């Protein structure tokens, strides 16, 4: 009987730890991204909820503050690479599928 209690305690602790890690790694709700055409206010949590898979975006850049700017300045990420390959392509695909989609032209996101 004590073994069952111990096992249940271990399972509960693991579950709590995984939930805490997920909350900790969720990032900011809104991220302002500086770009040559003006700042983009990116609704991060909204995208997390709709996509469910962080790797949709984060295979191109790591999950850390300032990652885009650092990769661009280091020449590892071309300007507009994220917006053109991920954002606009995804939004256009959602629109073609007649699903709710985000902006599909640059000026809808960039504000000077």
Kindly list the structural domains of the chain, giving each domain's residue range(s) and its CATH number in brackets, ordered by start.
28-111 (3.90.10.10)
Asked if the model's pLDDT at residue 20 lies above 50, the reply is no
The answer to whether the CB of 64 falls within 8 A of the CB of 74 is no
pTM of the complete model? 0.68
Q: In Å, how far are 7, 19, 59, 96 from 12, measured between CA atoms? A: 9, 11, 31, 44
Asked if the model's pLDDT at residue 18 lies above 50, the reply is no
Q: Which tens digits make up the pLDDT trace of 54-85?
A: 998 898 889 988 898 899 899 998 888 888 88
Per-residue burial over 51-71, b if 16 or more Cβ lie within 10 Å, else e, is eeeeeebeeebeeeeeebeeb
């Amino acid at each position: 009987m004590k073994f069952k209690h111990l096992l249940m305690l271990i399972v509960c602790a693991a579950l709590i730890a995984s939930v805490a890690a997920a909350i900790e790694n969720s990032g900011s709700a809104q991220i302002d991204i500086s770009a040559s055409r003006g700042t983009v206010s990116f609704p991060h949590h909204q995208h997390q909820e709709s996509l469910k898979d962080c790797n949709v975006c984060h295979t191109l850049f790591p999950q850390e503050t300032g990652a885009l700017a650092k990769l661009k300045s280091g020449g590892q990420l071309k300007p507009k690479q994220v917006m053109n390959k991920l954002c606009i392509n995804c939004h256009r695909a959602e629109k073609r599928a007649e699903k709710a989609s985000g902006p599909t032209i640059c000026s809808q996101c960039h504000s000077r």
